[in-house]
Amino acid sequence: MPKRKAVDAPAQVQGPAKRVTRSTGALSTTQPVANATSPTKRRGRPPGLPANTVPKFAKANTRNRSNTISSSKENERLDDEEEEDDDELNIASEVEKPVGSARPSQKVVQDSIIVAAPRRSRLATQQPTVKSSKSSTQPSHPRTAPPETSDEVDTPSELPEVASPSKTALGKRPQIVLPKIIPSKLADHLSSQKQACLAALHDPPLAPDDEDVVNNLALKQLTDLMRGTVERGEGNSCLVLGPAGSGKTRIFEKAVSNFSGKSVVIRLSGFVQHNDRLAMREIARQVVEQTGNDKFSSLPSDDENPFLDDTNAGEASTSDVDGQISIALPPASHLPSLIAQLSSLSLPVILLLDGFHLFTGHARQALLYCLLDAVQSCRVGAEGQKGLAVVGLTSRVDVINLLEKRVKSRFSHRILRTAGMASIDEWKCMLRRCLITEGDKQDDHRDSSSQEWRKLWDYSIERFLDDKATSDGFKDLFGLTKDVRLLLKSMSGAIGSLSPSSPFLDPSRVRSYLSSQRCSSRADILSKLNYPLISMLIAAEHVRISGHDAFTFEQLYELFRIQVRMSSAAPVAMGASALGMVNVSRGILMGGFEQLAQMGLFVPTMAPSVGVAKQFVKHRCNVEREDLRIAVGNTQQTNLKKWLSKAQ
Amino acid sequence: MNDYTTQVADDFCCDEELVQQVISLTTSPTPSFAYVYDAQTPENTRNMLQCVLARSTSACGGMNIAYAFINCVACFSQRLLFDTTLNTLMKHRSTWNNGFGLWEDGALEAGNWNDSLDGFFRGLNSCYAMLLKGGAADDRRPPVSTKIVLVFERPEKLKETLPGIVMPLARLHEMAKANITTIFLGETEWENITPHAGTLPDPHRITVQTLSKEALMRMITKKFPDTYPETSLSPYNPTLKTLFAHFVETVYNVCSPFTVEPKELAYLVAARWPGFVSPLLEDWKHQNSEELQGPSEESRIRLIKLFMPSLSNAVESLYPRLLSAKEWSNTNTPPNGMRLSRAAAKLPQASTTSSVITDELPELPKISNFILLASFLASHNPAKTDARMFGRNMDDKKRKRKKGGSPRKQGGSAKVSQLLQGPMTFPYDRLIAILGALLLEYDDGARQSLSFSGSILNVESEVFRIQTNALIQDLMSKHLLHRTTAPERFDSMQFKCGITQEQGLALARRLGIPLAELMWDPM
Task: Name the residue range of residue A44's domain.
Answer: 3-154
- Residue A542: the pLDDT is 93
Confidence grade of residue A310 (pLDDT, cut at 50, 70, 90): very low
Query: A398-407, A456-465, B129-138, B487-496: which has the minimum mean pLDDT?
Result: B129-138
Mean pLDDT score across all residues of chain B: 82
Q: Is A612 on the interface with B (CB under 8 A)?
A: yes
In a domain, A433, yes or no: no
A387 in the same domain as A244: yes
Compute the average pLDDT of residues B452-463. Answer: 67
Q: Is the pLDDT of residue A396 over 80?
A: yes
Compute the average pLDDT of residues B419-424. Answer: 88
Any bridge partners for residue B398, and if so which? Answer: B392
Confidence grade of residue A219 (pLDDT, cut at 50, 70, 90): very high
CATH hierarchy code of domain B366-392+418-518:
1.10.10
Q: For residues B435 and A90, which has the higher predicted lDDT (pLDDT)?
A: B435
Residues of chain B neighbouring A328 (CB-CB closer than 8 A): 108-109
Distance between CA B135 and CA B148 in Å, rounded? 13
Confidence grade of residue A225 (pLDDT, cut at 50, 70, 90): very high
Confidence grade of residue A127 (pLDDT, cut at 50, 70, 90): very low
Domain boundaries, chain B: 2-207, 213-342, 366-392+418-518
Residue of chain A with shortest Cα separation from B425: A611
Handedness of CA B58, B59, B62, B65 (dihedral sign): positive
For A327, list phi and psi in degrees, rounded to 5: -125, 140
Q: For residues A24 and A202, which has the higher predicted lDDT (pLDDT)?
A: A202
Beta sheet of A602-604, edge-to-edge order? A550-551, A619-621, A602-604
Give residues 461 to 520 of B whose Cβ lies within 8 Å of A: 479, 482, 484, 496, 498, 500
Residues of chain A neighbouring B26 (CB-CB closer than 8 A): none
CB atoms within 10 A of CB A613: 17
Compute the average pLDDT of residues B142-167. Answer: 84
- Residue A221: the pLDDT is 94
Q: Is the pLDDT of residue A229 over 70?
A: yes
> Taking CB atoms and an 8 Å limit, are A530 and B108 in contact across chains?
no
Q: Is B320 on the interface with A (CB under 8 A)?
A: yes
A554 in the same domain as A449: no
ipTM of model: 0.84
Q: Is the pLDDT of residue A460 over 80?
A: yes
> Taking CB atoms and an 8 Å limit, are A328 and B109 in contact across chains?
yes
In a domain, A534, yes or no: yes
A483 in the same domain as A399: no
Final residue belonging to a domain, choices A518, A545, A566? A518
Of the candidates B249, B183, B161, B155, the residue with the CA atom closest to the CA atom of residue B34? B183
Residues of chain A neighbouring B199 (CB-CB closer than 8 A): 244, 271
Q: Is the pLDDT of residue A63 over 80?
A: no
- Residue A73: the pLDDT is 43
Of the candidates B308, B327, B309, the residue with the CA atom closest to the CA atom of residue B318? B327
Q: Is the pLDDT of residue A197 over 50?
A: yes
Confidence grade of residue A163 (pLDDT, cut at 50, 70, 90): very low
- Could you report the per-residue pLDDT of B302-334, keeping only the tens digit for each? 888 888 888 888 888 888 888 888 888 888 888
- Residue A257: the pLDDT is 92
* Pick from B116, B416, B482: CB nearest A610: B482
Q: Is the pLDDT of residue B515 over 60?
A: yes
Of the candidates B460, B432, B430, the residue with the CA atom closest to the CA atom of residue B446? B460
Q: Going by DSSP bridges, is the β-strand pair A619-621/A602-604 parallel, antiparallel, or unpaired?
A: antiparallel
Distance between CA A45 and CA A32 in Å, rounded? 17
Distance between CA A92 and CA A105 in Å, rounded? 16
Q: For residues A590 and B444, which has the higher predicted lDDT (pLDDT)?
A: A590
Query: A28-32, A460-464, A555-559, B397-401: which has the minimum mean pLDDT?
Result: A28-32
CB within 8 Å of A17: residues ≥ 6 apart: A34, A37, A68, A69, A72
- Residue B110: the pLDDT is 57
Query: A5-19, A339-353, A361-375, B26-40: which has the minimum mean pLDDT?
Result: A5-19
Q: What is the dihedral of CA A640, A645, A646, A648, to 10 degrees?
A: 140
For A508, list phi and psi in degrees, rounded to 5: -65, -35
Distance between CA B402 and CA B311 in Å, rounded? 50
Instruction: Provide the shortest C-alpha distance from residue B108 to chain A (in Å).
Output: 6
A71 in the same domain as A48: yes
A225 in the same domain as A86: no
In a domain, A174, yes or no: no
A277 in the same domain as A248: yes
A149 in the same domain as A66: yes
Euclidean distance between the first and final Cα of chain B, in Å? 67
Instruction: Provide the shortest C-alpha distance from residue B162 to chain A (in Å).
Output: 13
Compute the average pLDDT of residues A203-214. Answer: 72
Q: Is the pLDDT of residue A392 over 90?
A: yes
Residue of chain A with shortest Cα separation from B26: A496
Residues of chain B neighbouring A611 (CB-CB closer than 8 A): 482, 484, 496, 498
- Residue A169: the pLDDT is 40
Q: Is the pLDDT of residue B475 over 50?
A: yes
- Residue B388: the pLDDT is 81
* Pick from B29, B108, B207: CB nearest A516: B207
In a domain, A148, yes or no: yes
Helix or strand holding residue B180 (H, E): strand B180-186
Secondary structure class of B124 (helix, strand, coil): helix
Mean pLDDT score across all residues of chain A: 70
Q: Is A253 on the interface with B (CB under 8 A)?
A: no
A340 in the same domain as A208: no
Q: For residues B522 and B184, which has the higher predicted lDDT (pLDDT)?
A: B184
Residues of chain A neighbouring B316 (CB-CB closer than 8 A): 585, 587-588
Distance between CA A426 and CA A430 in Å, rounded? 6
Q: Is A201 on the interface with B (CB under 8 A)?
A: yes
> Taking CB atoms and an 8 Å limit, are B107 and A326 in contact across chains?
yes
Q: Is the pLDDT of residue B252 over 90?
A: yes
Q: Is B7 on the interface with A (CB under 8 A)?
A: no
Confidence grade of residue B1 (pLDDT, cut at 50, 70, 90): low
Give residues 282 to 311 of B whose Cβ lies within 8 Å of A: none
Q: Is the pLDDT of residue B412 over 90?
A: no
Q: Is A199 on the interface with B (CB under 8 A)?
A: yes
In a domain, A161, yes or no: no
The listed range with the strongest mean pLDDT (A396-410, B113-127, B225-239) is: A396-410
- Residue B353: the pLDDT is 63
Compute the average pLDDT of residues A5-24. Answer: 41
> Taking CB atoms and an 8 Å limit, are A525 and B189 in contact across chains?
yes
Instruction: Count residue pairs from A and B with Cβ separation < 8 A.
Output: 151
Residue of chain B with shortest Cα separation from A192: B28
> Taking CB atoms and an 8 Å limit, are A554 and B420 in contact across chains?
yes
Q: Is the pLDDT of residue A60 over 50?
A: no
Query: A48-62, A252-266, A542-556, B350-364: which has the minimum mean pLDDT?
Result: A48-62
Helix or strand holding residue A241 (H, E): strand A235-241
Confidence grade of residue A92 (pLDDT, cut at 50, 70, 90): very low
Compute the average pLDDT of residues B203-214. Answer: 87
Instruction: Determine the residue among A480, A522, A588 to mutate to test chain B binding: the one whose Cβ has the most chain B Cβ atoms within 10 Å.
Output: A588
In a domain, A273, yes or no: yes
Any bridge partners for residue A268, and if so which? Answer: A353
Domain B2-207 indexed as CATH 3.40.50.10860: no
Residues of chain A neighbouring B107 (CB-CB closer than 8 A): 321, 324, 326
In our burial notation (b when 16+ CB lie closer than 10 A, e otherwise), range B366-378 reads ebbbbbbbbbbbb
In a domain, A169, yes or no: no
Q: Is the pLDDT of residue A241 over 70?
A: yes
A530 in the same domain as A503: no
Of the candidates B171, B156, B147, the residue with the CA atom closest to the CA atom of residue B34? B171
Q: Is B189 on the interface with A (CB under 8 A)?
A: yes
Domains in chain A, number:
4
- Residue B343: the pLDDT is 63
A530 in the same domain as A513: no
CB within 8 Å of B97: residues ≥ 6 apart: none
Residues of chain A neighbouring B24 (CB-CB closer than 8 A): 496-497
Final residue belonging to a domain, choices A417, A435, A461? A417
In a domain, A337, yes or no: yes
Confidence grade of residue B373 (pLDDT, cut at 50, 70, 90): very high
Instruction: Provide the shortest C-alpha distance from residue B292 to chain A (in Å).
Output: 40
CB atoms within 10 A of CB B479: 11
Instruction: Determine the residue among A268, A514, A519 to mutate to test chain B binding: the one whose Cβ has the most chain B Cβ atoms within 10 Å.
Output: A519
* Pick from A245, A278, A610: CB nearest B116: A278
Q: Is A170 on the interface with B (CB under 8 A)?
A: no
Residues of chain B neighbouring A525 (CB-CB closer than 8 A): 189
Query: A234-248, A514-528, A593-607, B168-182: which has the minimum mean pLDDT?
Result: A514-528
A538 in the same domain as A493: no
Q: For residues B182 and A515, which has the higher predicted lDDT (pLDDT)?
A: B182
A322 in the same domain as A200: no
Q: Is the pLDDT of residue A433 over 70?
A: yes
Residue of chain A with shortest Cα separation from B212: A528
- Residue A380: the pLDDT is 78
- Could you report the per-residue pLDDT of B64-110, keeping only the tens digit for each? 888 999 999 999 999 999 999 999 988 888 888 877 777 777 665 55
Q: Is the pLDDT of residue A314 over 90?
A: no
Residues of chain B neighbouring A281 (CB-CB closer than 8 A): 116, 118
Confidence grade of residue A170 (pLDDT, cut at 50, 70, 90): very low
Handedness of CA B227, B229, B233, B237 (dihedral sign): positive
- Residue B350: the pLDDT is 65
Name the percent of chain B lying above pLDDT 90.
21
Instruction: Provide the shortest C-alpha distance from residue B429 to chain A (in Å).
Output: 20
Helix or strand holding residue B418 (H, E): helix B418-421
* Pick from A587, A599, A613: CB nearest B422: A613
Confidence grade of residue A154 (pLDDT, cut at 50, 70, 90): very low
- Residue A227: the pLDDT is 93
Burial class (CB in 10 A: 0-12, 13-18, 19+), A264: buried
Compute the average pLDDT of residues A159-187. Answer: 58
Q: Is the pLDDT of residue B3 over 70?
A: yes
Q: Is the pLDDT of residue A266 over 90?
A: yes
Final residue belonging to a domain, choices A139, A154, A169? A154
- Residue A621: the pLDDT is 92
- Could you report the per-residue pLDDT of A286-295, keeping only the tens digit for each? 888 888 644 3
- Residue A224: the pLDDT is 94
- Residue B408: the pLDDT is 53
* Pick from A202, A324, A525: CB nearest B30: A202
- Residue A488: the pLDDT is 84
Name the percent of chain A lying above pLDDT 90.
20
Q: For residues A644 and B456, which has the higher predicted lDDT (pLDDT)?
A: A644
The listed range with the strongest mean pLDDT (A112-116, A203-207, A377-381, B370-374) is: B370-374
Instruction: Provide the shortest C-alpha distance from residue A212 to chain B (in Å).
Output: 27
Q: Is the pLDDT of residue B395 over 70?
A: no
